[in-house]
Structure 1
Amino acid sequence: MSTKKSEPATQDSLVHPQVATFFRLAYKNHSQWSALGSAFFVLVSGGMSLAWGAGFAIHSSHREYLLLTFHMQVAWYATATLGALFGAFFTHRLPQQPIYILCSCLVIASGILFLAWPESPGAVIAGRYLDGLANGLVFVPALSTAGEIAVGGVRGLLAATVEQLSSNTGILMQLLYTAVWQVEWNVAIVADQVHGVLSIIYGVVALAMALALCVESPVHLLTRANEQKAVVALRHLQRPYMVTSETLLRLDEHKLYVSTYREMGWWSSLQKGLPSLVKVLAHRLLGSMCLNLVIWSALYETASEVMSYFQAWPYVVFGVLRWCGCFCVAPLMDTTGRKSPTLFGTFSLGIFAFAFAFLVARTPHMIAALVVLFLLQFFAGVGQCSSAVYLTEAFPLSLKPHLVAASYVLEQLTRLGLCSFSPLESDIIAYFYVLGGLSMVFFLLGIFCLPETKVIPLAEAQQKFSKWFNKDF
C-alpha cells in the first residue's frame, strides 16, 4: 500500500525534477533571504537614487541643478563612499541588526525630506546624503555575509537577488514613475514627492524586516568564538527550525572556513585577495558604465530623433529590459553557473555598444539605434548579475569587508565621474566605442581568468579566485 501511495509523488518528481528541486530549496531556505530582506529594500532605494542622479528624473524641479550644482552631483556618491568605509570597519565586529535598523531609518528620513520639502534644493541634497549613507553602510555587511548565510545551492541566487535585482528594481521604479508622471496633471503632489513616498515605503518595510527577521552570520559568530549562537543562527536559517545533521555539517563547513583564514596574516590575505579584487573590480566598473549621464543622454537624444517630441515610454522599455535581464539570469546562478551568463552578457553588451556607436555615427535613421540601446541594457543586466555573487565569494575572510568596500568605493567614484558632465554627440559615440572595446577585452580575459564557483564551499571559491587564471566552466 505504501508503495502505491508514493508512486504519484515519485512520478511527479521524475517529470519535473528541476522545478521540484527549485521549489523545495526555496521553501527550505527562504529564511536566508528574509535575513537579508532589510538590505534588499534599502538597496532598492539606492537604485532609485542612482537613476535619479544619472538623469532619469526629467520631471524633477531640481533636474537643472544636477548638472549645475557640484554639491547635488556628489551628495549621494560621497556619503555612499563614506558609508562603505564605515561598513568595512563594523562588519564582523558588530552585529548586523543595529546596522540594518539604522540604514532603514536613514532611508525613511531621506524619503521624508523629499516628501515634505520637494522644492527645496537643500532638503533634496540632504535626502540624497542620507540615502547614500544608508546604501553604503548596508552594502558591505550584506554582500560580505550573503555567502556566509546562504547554503551552497542558493548562494548565487541569494547574492544576485539582494544586490543586483534590488538595484535594478529601484532603477525600474524610478523610470516607471518618471514615465507615467505628467506635469500637466496639475495635482497637488509633485514628482519628487513620489520619490519620497516610495523611499518611505522601502524604509518601513526594511525596518520591519530588520526588527523581525534579521539573523546574524554564523561565520561572524564563530569568529567571536560563540559556537552556541552560531548553531542557533543556523537553525533559524533553514526549515524545519531545528538542529539536524545538515545543520551540523554546515557548522563544520563554517568552522573550516574560519580556521582556514584565522592564522593567515594581513599580508598573505592581501596577496590572495589582490587577483580577486582586480577581477571583481573590472566586472563592477564595466557595470557602472552602463547606467550614467552618458547613457541617459544617448537614450534622450536617440528617442528625440525618432519622435517629433520626446515621450517617456522609452524610459519604461529601457528599465523593464534591464530588470528582465537580471531577473532571467539570477535563478541560473546555481545551475548554469556564474561564468557562462557573465561571458555571454558581456560579449553581447560589447556587440550592441559597437552597433549603437556605428548607427549613431553613420546613419540618420535612429529607430534601429534605439532598439539596439534597449537590447544593450538587457544584456547589461545579464552580464552584471553575477558581480554580486563574485563579491561575496572572492575575498579572504579577514579582509573581505575591506575589499568589498574598496570595490564599492571605486565603483561609486567612477559613477560620479561619468555623471559630472554633459556629453556632446561626438562624446556619446566615442563612449560607446570605448564601452564596446572594454566589454570585448573583459570577455576575452574572462574566458581564462574568471572561475566557476557554483555549489562549492566559500573557502574553495576563494582559492579559485586567488589564481590569476581559471579556465573552468
Structure 2
Amino acid sequence: MEQKNEYHRTMSQSTVGYSPLPEPSARESPPRRQILYEQPTSCCIRDMRNQPQANALGAAALIFLSGGMNIAWSIGFDNLADEIVICMHLRISWFIGAIIGSVLGVVFSRCLTYKLLMQLCCLLTIVGGILFTATQLNVDAMMAARYLNGLANGLALPATLSTGGELVVFYKRGTYVSATEQLSCTLGIFMQIVFSVSWSPDYDLTADQLQGVLCTIYGAIALFLATVFIVESPVQLLIQGEQELAIDALIRLQYPKTMTVETSDQMTEHSAYVAQNNSLRSTEAWCQALPALLRLCLLRALYAMSTSMLIVFTLTLASTSVYGLSSGPYVLFGLLRLAGSCSGAFVQDTLGRKLTQLIGFMICGAASIGLATRFSSADFVRLPDLRKAVWMLLIFQFFAGLGFAPSSVYLSEAFPLSVKRMCIAIAYIVELSIQLAVCYVELNVHTNCIYFYGLGVFTLLGFLFGHWYLPETNYLTLRQAQQKFRDFS
C-alpha cells in the first residue's frame, strides 16, 4: 500500500499539461528504469534542462539568419546602387529559390531525415556564401549564390517549424520556435541594413563580399551544429514504429540525459498525439487543416507586406528628405524591428501568442493608416509630413516585430501530422509570392498612399480576425493545440 501511495505522489509532480501515465495493475510492478525528476524551481534551471532542444534548432537559426540578410538585400538594402543596375531577376532570385526549396522540402522530407536535410541546407548556404565572396560585381555568380541561399531556406523552413514543435517541451515551444525563425531572420535583416548604410566603398572587401563571408561562416557553424546536436523528432520516430529510438531522443533532448517522470509523460503524450493523427484519413486531415491554413496564410501575407520593397522605398524617401544621408533612421528601423521580434519571442510562453499578436496588429494598423495620410496629397508631400512618416514607420516596425512573432509558433502546432509540412510550405509560398508581387509594384508617392491604406485596413481586420478566430495555445501540448485549430470557432 505504501509503495502505491508513493507512486501516486511521484506522478502528481509531473508537469501540468500532459496526460497521466496509466496506473500499473496489481500484477505489474513499476518500470525498473531509474527515475530521476526534480520540479524546476526557476527559469534558469528549466532553461538549462531544455538547452539541448535549443541546440537542436541552432543550425536552422543560422540558416534563417543568412536568409534574413538576403531578404534585406532583395527589398532594397543593398550597396550596389552606384556600381551596377540591379536587374529585377537578380532582385527576386532569392524569393524564387525559396519557393522552389519549400516545394522540394515537402518531397525530400519523405526520404531524408531532418538531420540529413539540414546538412544539405548548410552545404547550400556555404556554397552560396563562397560564390558571393569569390566574385565581385559578377551578376551571374551573385544570382547563383542567391538562388542557393533561397533554396537552403526554403528546404529548411517547413521541416524546422514542423520538427521544432515536436522537439521542444510544451512550456518552451513558443520562445524556442519563434526565436529560431522570426528572431534569427530579423537579426539577419538588421545586420544587412547596418552593412548597407555604413560600409565604405574604400574598404578592400565590399559589403556584398562581407555578406558572402558571413553566410559561409554561418553555414559552416550550422553544419557543425547539425552534425553534433540535431536530434530526430520523437514524434516522427513513433510514426515509424521506433519506440525505443523515440525514448532515446527524448532523453537526449534534456539535461541531464536520464529517464525522468517528465520524459515518461512526454512519451505518453507523443504516443497519444500520433494515435490521434493516425486515425485521420487524408480527407479528414485536410478538412481539419483548412481553417488553420486560411488563417495563417493571411498572417504570413501581412508579414510579407510589413517587410517589403515599398516599406524600404518609403523609409528611403522620407529619411533622405528629412535627414539627408544620415544612416541613423535606417539603423533605428532595423533595430526596432529586431527589438520587437526579440520581445515577442521571449514572451510567447508567458504573455501568450494571442495577446502579443493583438497588441502588435492594433498599433501597426493605426500607424499604417497614419502613414497613408502623410502621402495623400495630390501634388507633393510636405517636409513635416515626411518627418512624421519616418517616426510612424519606426513605430510600425517595432510593433510589427511584436505582432508577427507568434506566426512561427502557430505554424508549428496548427496542422495534423500527415499534412503539416505541406501546409507550412503553402503558407510560406504565399508569403514569398506577396514579396514577389510587391517587387513589381511601381514605386511612387501615390502607390505608397494606397499601399499603406490597404496594409492598415487589412492589419486592423487581422486584429479583429485574430481576436475572434485565433486561439491561445500557450502552455498546451501539440495535441491540445491542434484541437484548438480544428474549426473557426
TM-score in terms of structure 1 length: 0.92
1:314 aligns with 2:329: yes
Match for residue 7 of structure 1?
none
Residue aligned with 1:289, SS: helix
* Structure 2 unaligned blocks of 5 or more: 1-39
Q: What are the Cα deviations for residues 63-92 of structure 1, in whole angstroms up to 9, with x where unaligned?
A: 631xxx342133111121111112112336
1:49 aligns with 2:94: no
Match for residue 9 of structure 1?
none
Match for residue 406 of structure 2?
386
Name the aligned partner's letter for residue 370 of structure 2.
Answer: A
Q: What are the Cα deviations for residues 251-279 of structure 1, in whole angstroms up to 9, with x where unaligned?
A: 11000000001121110000000000011
- Equivalent in 337, 348, 354 of residue 333 of structure 1: 348
- Equivalent in 458, 469, 473 of residue 453 of structure 1: 473
Name the aligned partner's letter for residue 29 of structure 1.
Answer: N
* Structure 1 unaligned blocks of 5 or more: 1-18
Contact 1:58-1:178 at 8 Å conserved across structures: yes
- 2 CA distance for matches of 1:74 and 1:287? 17
Contact 2:58-2:222 at 8 Å conserved across structures: yes
Residue pairs, 1:252-267, within 5 angstroms: 252-267=268-283
Contact 1:43-1:166 at 8 Å conserved across structures: yes
Residue pairs, 1:16-415, within 5 angstroms: 21-59=42-80, 64-65=85-86, 69-91=87-109, 93-183=111-201, 186-307=202-323, 309-361=324-376, 363-365=382-384, 366-415=386-435
Larger Rg computed on CA atoms: 2
Match for residue 33 of structure 2?
none
- 2 CA distance for matches of 1:290 and 1:182? 28
Residue aligned with 2:303, SS: helix
- Equivalent in 455, 461, 471 of residue 441 of structure 1: 461
Name the aligned partner's letter for residue 344 of structure 2.
Answer: V
Contact 2:251-2:263 at 8 Å conserved across structures: yes
Q: What are the Cα deviations for residues 72-115 of structure 1, in whole angstroms up to 9, with x where unaligned?
A: 13311112111111211233653111111111111111111111
Cα drift, residue 300 of structure 1: 0.4
Q: What are the Cα deviations for residues 325-362 of structure 1, in whole angstroms up to 9, with x where unaligned?
A: 01112111111110011011001000100111112335
Q: What are the Cα deviations for residues 291-337 of structure 1, in whole angstroms up to 9, with x where unaligned?
A: 11100100000001102x32322211010000000111211111111
Name the aligned partner's letter for residue 179 of structure 1.
Answer: V
Cα drift, residue 20 of structure 1: 6.0
Match for residue 19 of structure 2?
none
Residue aligned with 2:259, SS: coil
Query: CA RMSD, aligned part only?
Result: 1.5
Cα drift, residue 372 of structure 1: 0.8
Cα drift, residue 433 of structure 1: 0.7
Contact 1:114-1:123 at 8 Å conserved across structures: yes
Cα drift, residue 421 of structure 1: 3.6
Residue aligned with 2:85, SS: helix
1:417 aligns with 2:432: no
Name the aligned partner's letter for residue 457 of structure 2.
Answer: G
Q: What are the Cα deviations for residues 116-152 of structure 1, in whole angstroms up to 9, with x where unaligned?
A: 1121000000000100000000111100111100101
Greater helix share, structure number: 1
Cα drift, residue 60 of structure 1: 6.0
Contact 1:304-1:310 at 8 Å conserved across structures: yes
- 1 CA distance for matches of 2:224 and 2:198? 29
Contact 1:89-1:402 at 8 Å conserved across structures: no
- 2 CA distance for matches of 1:213 and 1:60? 41
TM-score in terms of structure 2 length: 0.89
Cα drift, residue 187 of structure 1: 2.4
Q: What are the Cα deviations for residues 224-249 of structure 1, in whole angstroms up to 9, with x where unaligned?
A: 10011101100010111011121111
Identity %: 36
Cα drift, residue 205 of structure 1: 1.2
Contact 2:190-2:335 at 8 Å conserved across structures: yes
Match for residue 15 of structure 1?
none
Contact 2:75-2:312 at 8 Å conserved across structures: yes
Instruction: Answer with 363-372 or 341-350: which moved more.
Output: 363-372
Change (3 A) 1:62 1:218: farther
Count, aligned residues: 445
- 2 CA distance for matches of 1:156 and 1:30? 14
- 2 CA distance for matches of 1:367 and 1:73? 29
- 1 CA distance for matches of 2:136 and 2:404? 33
Change (3 A) 1:202 1:364: same
Name the aligned partner's letter for residue 143 of structure 2.
Answer: I
Contact 1:178-1:312 at 8 Å conserved across structures: no
Contact 1:157-1:334 at 8 Å conserved across structures: yes
Contact 2:92-2:439 at 8 Å conserved across structures: no
Residue aligned with 2:127, SS: helix
Residue aligned with 1:188, SS: coil
- 2 CA distance for matches of 1:428 and 1:258? 48
Contact 1:91-1:140 at 8 Å conserved across structures: no
Change (3 A) 1:445 1:416: same
- 2 CA distance for matches of 1:21 and 1:353? 40
Contact 1:114-1:193 at 8 Å conserved across structures: yes
Contact 2:365-2:457 at 8 Å conserved across structures: yes
Contact 1:44-1:168 at 8 Å conserved across structures: yes
Match for residue 13 of structure 1?
none
Name the aligned partner's letter for residue 448 of structure 2.
Answer: I
